[in-house]
Amino acid sequence: MDGILNINKPAGRTSYSIVAMVKRLSGERRVGHAGTLDPDATGVLPVCLGRATRFTEFLTDAVKAYRAEIELGVATDTYDSAGKVIERKDFSGVSRENLVTALASFRGTIQQTPPMYSALKHKGKPLYELARVGIQVERKPRLVEIYDLELIGWQPPLVTIEVACSKGTYIRSLAHDLGQTLGCGAMLKSLARLRCGVFDIEDAISVAQLEDAFHHGYWRHFVYPPDIVLLNWAAMIVGESTSELIKNGTNIDLAPNPPPDNRCRAYTTEGNFLGVLHFNSANKQWQPKKVLL
């Protein structure tokens, strides 16, 4: 089975445990998720099976949307409610207008410093392992893109926002930085991923539903084809001889005018998905990049 499951991860489960469950129930050896969710977070977790795991990167790179509840006046070492409280401050001076102004400063391309409690590595070790033994290391700020950021709820001390962002964005860091901007400190209280690329929370299947589907043998009805994550790409249909060249990784001559992003998805005349191609401007040929072998 090659495809993608859109799973609504519950709170208290790691992303890895969901992958392990799918691997066990499906019997498929190649299973992986696209974009880790913290154990306390909920929402969209795309899980790729079989040859679809070759296209995980296109989901990881996709725009993601979240609903986050942020608590003002308290800061923790992990930037969320799972951590140890390290500071409490008065938040009573924060108004809705202050929030709107502060949130506006985070829209667009911003510099964000990853939290110490993250899976990023320093000299081969995950930062969270170092943090747990009290070791702090310098983290370089990196550019992330906040495409949309809206205040949808304000019940002091709780702020609810919805945010659409690029890969590599830490909502925990966003909560922490908002608290710093407001001068009262803040932490992420809860987080739900609403969207990951083409996958939406409204269409996600719960773990209980998925387990029932596996038990009764209809789980394949919930599997999306691998190329669903590429539907905004240009597409080309190729003949049998060209199909064989693509499968063998051979550069080919196709349309002389490539799309602006120099990439496309390729299909056989029967409509079977072959893989993705990249146009090499140096030799004016299309190069197979990811092939569904």
Q: Which residue range is the domain that position 265 belongs to?
A: 233-291
Alpha-carbon gap, residue 293 to 289, rounded angstroms:
12
Q: What is the 3-state secondary structure (H, E, C) of 152-163?
A: EEEECCEEEEEE
Q: Indicate whether 37 and 125 sit together in one domain.
A: no
Q: Report helix angle 171-182 to 96-104, nearest 10.
A: 120
| Of 209, 212, 207, 262, the residue nearest 234 (C-alpha) | 262
- Picking from 145, 176, 195, the residue at the C-terminal end of a domain is 195
- Picking from 147, 172, 195, the residue at the C-terminal end of a domain is 195
**Contacts of 56 by beta carbon, 8 Å cutoff, 6+ apart:** 32, 33, 34, 48
Q: Indicate whether 135 and 92 sit together in one domain.
A: yes
Alpha-carbon gap, residue 144 to 122, rounded angstroms:
20
When divided into structural domains, the chain yields a total of: 3
Alpha-carbon gap, residue 145 to 209, rounded angstroms:
34
**Contacts of 183 by beta carbon, 8 Å cutoff, 6+ apart:** 89
Residue numbers annotated as active site: 38
Q: Indicate whether 48 and 81 sit together in one domain.
A: no
Q: Indicate whether 209 and 244 sit together in one domain.
A: no
| CATH code (residue 263) | 2.30.130.10
Q: Indicate whether 204 and 170 sit together in one domain.
A: no
- Picking from 209, 226, 243, the residue at the C-terminal end of a domain is 226
For the chain, how far is it from start to end, CA to CA, in angstroms?
13
Q: Indicate whether 68 and 190 sit together in one domain.
A: yes
Contacts 24+ apart (CB under 8 A), 272-278: 273/225, 273/226, 273/227, 274/238, 274/243, 274/246, 274/247, 275/246, 276/55, 276/230, 276/233, 277/236, 277/246, 277/252
- What are the residue ranges in the chain where pLDDT is below 50? none
Q: How many residues belong to the chain?
A: 293
pLDDT value at residue 102: 97
Q: Indicate whether 133 and 69 sit together in one domain.
A: yes
pLDDT value at residue 136: 79
Q: Indicate whether 130 and 142 sit together in one domain.
A: yes
Q: Indicate whether 51 and 87 sit together in one domain.
A: no
Contact (CB, 8 A) for 96 and 154: yes
Distance (Å) of CA 63 to CA 15, 202, 229: 19, 17, 12
pLDDT value at residue 135: 77
Q: Indicate whether 284 and 237 sit together in one domain.
A: yes
Q: What three-state secondary structure class fits 96?
A: helix
Q: Indicate whether 69 and 188 sit together in one domain.
A: yes
| CATH code (residue 51) | 3.30.2350.10
Alpha-carbon gap, residue 151 to 100, rounded angstroms:
7
Q: Indicate whether 49 and 74 sit together in one domain.
A: no
